[in-house]
Amino acid sequence: MSTFPPPRPARNPLARVRLDDLAPFDGASTPAYASAVDAIAESLTRHSAATVELPAADAAIVRCGLESARAFFRARPGLYVYRAGRALDDGELSPACMVDAFRCLGKAARAALCAIAWNLRLRSDAFSHLLDDNPLPLNEVSASELLVSFSHRHLQSGQSPILSHRSSMAEVDRGFVTLVASDHPGIEVCDPNGHWYLADGASGPNDLLLLTGRALSHVTAGLRLNSQYRTTNNGNRASLIFRLMPRAKAILDCSPISAAGHCIPQMYQPISASQFMDDLQAEEHTVSLHLEAPSESQGNFVNEPSLRSVLSDPLSGAFLEDAMVLSCGHSFGGLMLKKVLEMARCSICYGEVDVASLFPNLALRAVATVVKMEDDRRLFHNSALRKRRKEVTENMDAQRRNGSSKENSEVGLDAESSRALKGVQYPFAVGERVLIMGNKRTPDKFVGKEAVITSQCLNGWYLVKAVDSGESVRLQYRSLKKAGEPQMQAQAQPEMRSQQALAFLQKKQ
């Protein structure tokens, strides 16, 4: 059964915007386009979702796709993933109308992404270079995907195959935007205040539910947060879910946001789309393992934001040492407080702000100060360790250049390394082969396997890829060991024994 509280109805309905008004065009902006963009932005800020109304021709294609999903799965539940450009295997069946539905929903998703960029004072095509070419080149498969799904009323809660097969759990998509079309309500969204509500309860057959994903949050430096949602099993329900994804070779950075004058927190660093998706997959795998653990203390686990993110200004990334409380109860500091005062309106609940009613949030300031001091201490400690390791490496290089013996070099390396690596949480380098020793949280299928370090995560964690299966998993450095160490020691022992025997014979003679 779901561990979430029952959904609450939205206090304000989602913005309903016509796709014809939202579509980009040549020439000056019209009042209808500006109004549609503002409505989308406000709805995403207040409710983490919005509604897009399709024109009659596109709505007919979507309804055809939904009927095709029902006919394809008939009375059984199921999920089918369609990507443009992918050749079907021999004998593989697919629902009808998928080509037209993919093209129709893809056009709407790109229009929504352009509107979000325009609202942030960017060029409407600021993120177009991160998407697939339109149309696709020959022999190339789209990174975006269309999920065709059908749930059956007899399924128990939490077993619906819609949206990653885990309907009772909170979901966040990895891409830029997600559009959902269905013939029955069943999507619950969590607004910024933490209240769950049925987002598509008032949607009609011509409506699409618009949600935002993690990739969009990254390239906008957190100005457009991702949507958290879950699905309910309210009966026989067919749905089309289109996910607008970045190209695998694209680099996700915040250069358009920086060029527009926005402040970029340090946490939003440039990263390849493939690496970004791998990190999210490893994070989701860790969360799923935590959820599946039998411990009662883990039964109600929810992936919540970190303490540092809560105590930091979302615009500048600085700690909230100047936090102020508004009359509505929300606290802000740094550049976000300045922005709220300029708007004279809270960016969370949109309540009016009275400057005279502001007063310092002393508790939040004290906690932010303590965490900042601990953060600075940790950074200084790691910097000193890196400096020490660099000195050890330079000394060893100098010894090798001066012709020192191999035995003396090894002794020096072991002595210095034992001191330099004491307490260091990153003993392995990217690209290094390791042996997965495992611990109680390591999946059994990875224990004893050789793997390659693909990236370095926070707090001593690594993302490794198994050599035999190619699967990725995130593990801590304590559960890893350099590959080949035991073998090297085993080979060295006979050699040492032979040298000792030769020295003994020479001494006897």
Q: Report pLDDT digits (tens) over 457-495.
A: 777 788 888 888 888 888 888 888 888 754 444 444 445
pLDDT value of residue 63: 93
- Cα-based distances in Å from 442 to 293, 439, 474, 478: 12, 5, 9, 11
Note the pLDDT of residue 168. Answer: 55
Residue 410 has pLDDT above 70, yes or no: no
Contact between 130 and 273 (Cβ < 8 Å): yes
Q: Please, are residues 252 and 270 in contact by the beta-carbon 8 Å criterion?
A: yes
Residue 442 has pLDDT above 90, yes or no: no
Tell me what pLDDT residue 117 has.
93
User: Residue 313 has what pLDDT?
Assistant: 66
Percent of the chain scoring above 70 in pLDDT: 73
pLDDT at residue 286 is higher than 60: no
Percent of the chain surpassing pLDDT 90: 22
Count of beta carbons in the 10 Å neighbourhood of residue 505? 8
Q: Which of 62-76, 277-291, 328-342 has the highest mean pLDDT?
A: 62-76
Q: Per-residue confidence at 1, pLDDT binned at 50, 70, 90? A: very low
Instruction: Please say whether the beta carbons of 294 and 302 come within 8 A.
Output: no
Distance CA 99, CA 104 (A): 9
Residue keyed to tokens 């690209």: 431
What pLDDT is recorded for position 315? 57
Q: Is 307 exposed, middle or buried (0-12, 13-18, 19+ CB in 10 A)?
A: exposed
Determine the pLDDT at residue 157.
42
* Residue 61: predicted pLDDT: 94
Q: Which two tokens stand for residue 127?
A: 């993120």
The residues that bridge with 209 in the sheet, in sequence order, are 51, 180
Question: 317-346 burial, b for 16+ CB within 10 Å, e for fewer?
Answer: bbbbebbbbbebebbbbbbbbeebeeeeeb
Is pLDDT larger for residue 370 or for residue 219? Answer: 219
Q: Which CATH number among 3.40.50.2000, 2.60.120.330, 2.160.10.10, 3.20.20.140 corresponds to the domain 33-86+97-260?
A: 2.60.120.330
- Using CB atoms within 10 Å of the CB of residue 399, give its burial: 0 to 12 exposed, 13 to 18 middle, 19+ buried: middle
- Residues 439-443 have a mean pLDDT of 82
Question: What pLDDT, on the 0 to 100 scale, is given for residue 423?
Answer: 44
Q: Which residues, in sequence order, are CB contacts of 238 under 8 Å at separation 6+?
A: 66, 67, 69, 70, 73, 149, 150, 182, 183, 184
In the chain, residues under CATH classification 2.60.120.330 are 33-86+97-260
- Give dist(CA 253, CA 259) in Å, integer: 12
CATH 2.30.30.140 residue spans of the chain: 427-509
pLDDT at position 212 is 95
CA distance 279 to 430: 14
- CA 227/CA 230 separation, integer angstroms: 10
Q: Is it the case that residue 422 has pLDDT exceeding 50? A: no
Mean pLDDT to the nearest integer, 116-125: 91
Where is average pLDDT lowest: 115-124, 273-282, 372-381? Answer: 372-381
Mean of the per-residue pLDDT values of the chain: 77
Grouping H, G, I as helix, E, B as strand and the rest as coil, residue 212 is strand
CA distance 226 to 220: 11
Please give the pLDDT value at position 298.
Answer: 40
Question: CATH says 427-509 is which class?
Answer: mainly beta
Phi, psi torsion values for 499, nearest 5 degrees = -65, -40
Is the pLDDT assigned to residue 452 strictly greater than 50? Answer: yes
Pull the structure tokens for residue 273. Answer: 């789309």
- pLDDT exceeds cutoff 50 at 2: no
- For the segment 153-167, what is each residue's pLDDT rounded down to a tens digit? 554 444 444 344 445
Residue 417 to residues 32, 393, 407, 479: CA-CA distances in angstroms? 66, 9, 15, 20
Alpha-carbon 35 to chain mean position = 30
Instruction: Please give the order of strands across the beta sheet that includes 331-332.
Output: 331-332, 324-325, 359-360
Q: What's the burial of 140, exposed, middle or buried (CB within 10 Å: 0-12/13-18/19+)?
A: middle
Report the distance separating Cα 466 and Cα 19, nearest Å: 45
